[in-house]
Amino acid sequence: MATLKMPCQKVILCGEYGVGKSSLFRRFATDSFVSASDRKSTLGLDQYEKTYSVGPDERQTKLQLWDTGGLERVASVTSSYFKFAEAAILVFAMDSVDSFNVLSQHLLEIVSHAEHAKIYVCGNKIDLKHDSVVSDADIQMFCEQCHNVVTGTFKTSCKTGEGVHEMFTEIARQVAVSSRSRKELERLDDRAFKVEAPQADDEPCSC
Protein backbone atom coordinates (compact mmCIF):
# COMPACT_ATOMS: atom_id res chain seq x y z
CA MET A 1 0.00 0.00 0.00
CA ALA A 2 1.37 3.42 -0.95
CA THR A 3 2.09 5.81 1.94
CA LEU A 4 0.21 9.10 1.82
CA LYS A 5 2.55 12.08 1.64
CA MET A 6 2.33 14.37 4.65
CA PRO A 7 1.03 17.83 3.63
CA CYS A 8 3.59 20.62 3.94
CA GLN A 9 2.27 24.11 4.67
CA LYS A 10 4.50 27.09 3.87
CA VAL A 11 4.58 29.86 6.50
CA ILE A 12 6.46 33.14 6.03
CA LEU A 13 7.70 35.77 8.49
CA CYS A 14 7.16 39.43 7.60
CA GLY A 15 8.07 42.63 9.40
CA GLU A 16 10.77 45.24 9.90
CA TYR A 17 14.42 44.40 10.40
CA GLY A 18 15.27 43.86 14.08
CA VAL A 19 11.85 42.78 15.39
CA GLY A 20 13.03 39.21 15.97
CA LYS A 21 11.97 37.29 12.86
CA SER A 22 15.22 35.32 12.69
CA SER A 23 15.01 34.68 16.44
CA LEU A 24 11.50 33.28 15.95
CA PHE A 25 12.88 31.11 13.16
CA ARG A 26 15.65 29.86 15.46
CA ARG A 27 13.16 29.07 18.24
CA PHE A 28 11.04 27.17 15.72
CA ALA A 29 13.98 25.22 14.31
CA THR A 30 16.23 24.54 17.33
CA ASP A 31 14.35 25.97 20.36
CA SER A 32 17.35 28.18 21.12
CA PHE A 33 18.11 31.88 21.47
CA VAL A 34 21.21 33.85 20.55
CA SER A 35 21.69 37.37 21.91
CA ALA A 36 22.18 40.22 19.46
CA SER A 37 25.81 40.66 20.47
CA ASP A 38 26.62 37.03 19.63
CA ARG A 39 24.45 36.77 16.55
CA LYS A 40 26.01 36.49 13.10
CA SER A 41 24.11 38.09 10.27
CA THR A 42 23.03 35.79 7.45
CA LEU A 43 22.15 36.66 3.89
CA GLY A 44 19.80 34.49 1.91
CA LEU A 45 16.44 32.79 2.31
CA ASP A 46 16.27 30.13 4.98
CA GLN A 47 13.63 27.48 5.63
CA TYR A 48 12.99 24.71 8.13
CA GLU A 49 10.29 22.04 8.36
CA LYS A 50 8.68 20.79 11.54
CA THR A 51 5.88 18.25 12.07
CA TYR A 52 2.86 18.87 14.30
CA SER A 53 0.02 16.59 15.38
CA VAL A 54 -3.21 18.56 15.10
CA GLY A 55 -6.92 18.04 15.58
CA PRO A 56 -8.84 15.44 17.58
CA ASP A 57 -7.49 12.70 15.33
CA GLU A 58 -3.87 13.84 15.93
CA ARG A 59 -3.34 14.06 12.20
CA GLN A 60 0.19 15.08 11.31
CA THR A 61 0.93 18.18 9.28
CA LYS A 62 4.22 19.78 8.44
CA LEU A 63 5.00 23.49 8.73
CA GLN A 64 7.74 24.87 6.50
CA LEU A 65 8.82 28.18 8.02
CA TRP A 66 10.64 30.70 5.82
CA ASP A 67 12.85 33.59 6.93
CA THR A 68 14.29 36.32 4.71
CA GLY A 69 17.72 36.10 6.34
CA GLY A 70 18.13 39.88 6.26
CA LEU A 71 16.99 40.37 2.68
CA GLU A 72 13.74 42.21 3.54
CA ARG A 73 14.47 45.07 1.19
CA VAL A 74 15.70 43.07 -1.79
CA ALA A 75 13.02 43.18 -4.49
CA SER A 76 14.07 39.87 -6.07
CA VAL A 77 13.16 38.05 -2.85
CA THR A 78 9.46 38.87 -3.16
CA SER A 79 8.24 36.35 -5.74
CA SER A 80 9.94 33.24 -4.35
CA TYR A 81 9.34 34.22 -0.71
CA PHE A 82 5.59 34.80 -0.95
CA LYS A 83 4.80 32.12 -3.54
CA PHE A 84 2.54 29.29 -2.28
CA ALA A 85 2.45 30.66 1.29
CA GLU A 86 -0.39 29.17 3.33
CA ALA A 87 0.19 31.57 6.23
CA ALA A 88 2.06 34.80 6.92
CA ILE A 89 3.10 36.10 10.34
CA LEU A 90 3.32 39.88 10.70
CA VAL A 91 5.96 40.39 13.39
CA PHE A 92 6.56 43.59 15.34
CA ALA A 93 8.45 44.38 18.54
CA MET A 94 6.37 45.29 21.58
CA ASP A 95 8.96 47.94 22.51
CA SER A 96 8.94 49.59 19.07
CA VAL A 97 5.92 51.59 17.97
CA ASP A 98 7.61 52.23 14.62
CA SER A 99 7.74 48.51 13.83
CA PHE A 100 4.03 48.30 14.68
CA ASN A 101 3.03 51.32 12.60
CA VAL A 102 4.51 49.88 9.39
CA LEU A 103 2.64 46.57 9.63
CA SER A 104 0.08 47.85 7.13
CA GLN A 105 2.82 48.11 4.49
CA HIS A 106 3.84 44.48 5.03
CA LEU A 107 0.18 43.48 5.05
CA LEU A 108 -0.25 45.04 1.63
CA GLU A 109 2.68 42.99 0.31
CA ILE A 110 1.12 39.80 1.63
CA VAL A 111 -2.33 40.36 0.13
CA SER A 112 -0.70 41.37 -3.16
CA HIS A 113 1.68 38.42 -3.51
CA ALA A 114 0.12 35.68 -1.33
CA GLU A 115 -3.61 36.31 -1.61
CA HIS A 116 -4.65 32.94 -0.17
CA ALA A 117 -2.41 33.09 2.92
CA LYS A 118 -3.90 33.26 6.39
CA ILE A 119 -2.50 36.32 8.17
CA TYR A 120 -1.41 36.45 11.81
CA VAL A 121 -0.03 39.28 13.95
CA CYS A 122 2.76 38.54 16.42
CA GLY A 123 3.94 40.98 19.08
CA ASN A 124 7.46 39.83 19.94
CA LYS A 125 9.76 40.71 22.86
CA ILE A 126 7.09 40.50 25.57
CA ASP A 127 9.92 39.87 28.04
CA LEU A 128 10.60 43.63 27.79
CA LYS A 129 7.40 44.41 29.67
CA HIS A 130 8.63 47.66 31.16
CA ASP A 131 9.62 48.93 27.70
CA SER A 132 6.40 47.90 25.95
CA VAL A 133 4.78 50.75 24.03
CA VAL A 134 2.16 48.81 22.01
CA SER A 135 -1.05 47.98 23.88
CA ASP A 136 -3.67 45.29 23.35
CA ALA A 137 -6.05 48.05 22.27
CA ASP A 138 -3.58 49.13 19.58
CA ILE A 139 -3.38 45.59 18.24
CA GLN A 140 -7.16 45.17 18.29
CA MET A 141 -7.66 48.46 16.45
CA PHE A 142 -5.16 47.44 13.78
CA CYS A 143 -7.00 44.16 13.20
CA GLU A 144 -10.34 45.96 12.95
CA GLN A 145 -8.93 48.44 10.45
CA CYS A 146 -7.74 45.48 8.34
CA HIS A 147 -11.37 44.49 7.73
CA ASN A 148 -11.07 41.05 9.33
CA VAL A 149 -8.20 39.77 7.15
CA VAL A 150 -6.20 38.95 10.31
CA THR A 151 -6.93 35.39 11.44
CA GLY A 152 -5.30 35.61 14.87
CA THR A 153 -2.91 37.48 17.17
CA PHE A 154 -0.10 36.22 19.38
CA LYS A 155 2.51 37.51 21.82
CA THR A 156 5.91 35.87 22.07
CA SER A 157 9.37 36.14 23.57
CA CYS A 158 12.18 34.57 21.61
CA LYS A 159 14.47 35.08 24.61
CA THR A 160 12.36 33.03 27.05
CA GLY A 161 10.45 30.99 24.48
CA GLU A 162 7.12 32.16 25.90
CA GLY A 163 4.23 31.77 23.47
CA VAL A 164 6.35 30.57 20.53
CA HIS A 165 5.41 26.88 20.56
CA GLU A 166 1.76 27.72 21.22
CA MET A 167 1.69 30.11 18.26
CA PHE A 168 3.12 27.66 15.73
CA THR A 169 0.96 24.80 17.04
CA GLU A 170 -2.20 26.87 16.58
CA ILE A 171 -1.13 28.04 13.13
CA ALA A 172 -0.41 24.43 12.15
CA ARG A 173 -3.90 23.43 13.28
CA GLN A 174 -5.64 26.24 11.43
CA VAL A 175 -3.79 25.90 8.12
CA ALA A 176 -4.29 22.13 8.18
CA VAL A 177 -8.05 22.57 8.59
CA SER A 178 -8.11 25.28 5.92
CA SER A 179 -6.12 23.13 3.49
CA ARG A 180 -8.41 20.12 3.96
CA SER A 181 -11.50 22.31 3.50
CA ARG A 182 -10.11 23.84 0.31
CA LYS A 183 -9.27 20.43 -1.14
CA GLU A 184 -12.76 19.20 -0.35
CA LEU A 185 -14.27 22.22 -2.13
CA GLU A 186 -12.04 21.57 -5.13
CA ARG A 187 -13.29 17.97 -5.27
CA LEU A 188 -16.89 19.17 -5.11
CA ASP A 189 -16.23 21.67 -7.89
CA ASP A 190 -14.75 18.92 -10.04
CA ARG A 191 -17.87 16.82 -9.54
CA ALA A 192 -20.16 19.75 -10.29
CA PHE A 193 -18.49 20.51 -13.61
CA LYS A 194 -18.04 16.94 -14.70
CA VAL A 195 -20.12 16.25 -17.81
CA GLU A 196 -21.05 12.70 -18.57
CA ALA A 197 -20.59 11.55 -22.17
CA PRO A 198 -23.94 10.96 -23.95
CA GLN A 199 -24.89 7.33 -24.23
CA ALA A 200 -25.42 5.88 -27.71
CA ASP A 201 -28.93 4.70 -28.58
CA ASP A 202 -29.44 0.96 -28.85
CA GLU A 203 -31.26 1.34 -32.15
CA PRO A 204 -29.76 3.24 -35.11
CA CYS A 205 -31.54 6.37 -36.22
CA SER A 206 -33.90 5.70 -39.18
CA CYS A 207 -34.52 9.28 -40.19
Domain boundaries, the chain: 8-193
Task: Give the residue, 35 or 31, on which the prediction is more confident.
Answer: 31
Percent above pLDDT 90 for the chain: 58
pLDDT value of position 30: 94
- For residue 186, name the pLDDT band (cuts at 50, 70, 90): very low
Assigned architecture for domain 8-193: 3-Layer(aba) Sandwich (3.40)
- For residue 79, name the pLDDT band (cuts at 50, 70, 90): confident
- Lowest pLDDT segment from 99-113, 142-156, 192-206: 192-206
pTM: 0.82
What's the whole-number average pLDDT of the chain? 83
Beta-strand relationship, 59-67 and 46-54: antiparallel
pLDDT value of position 49: 95
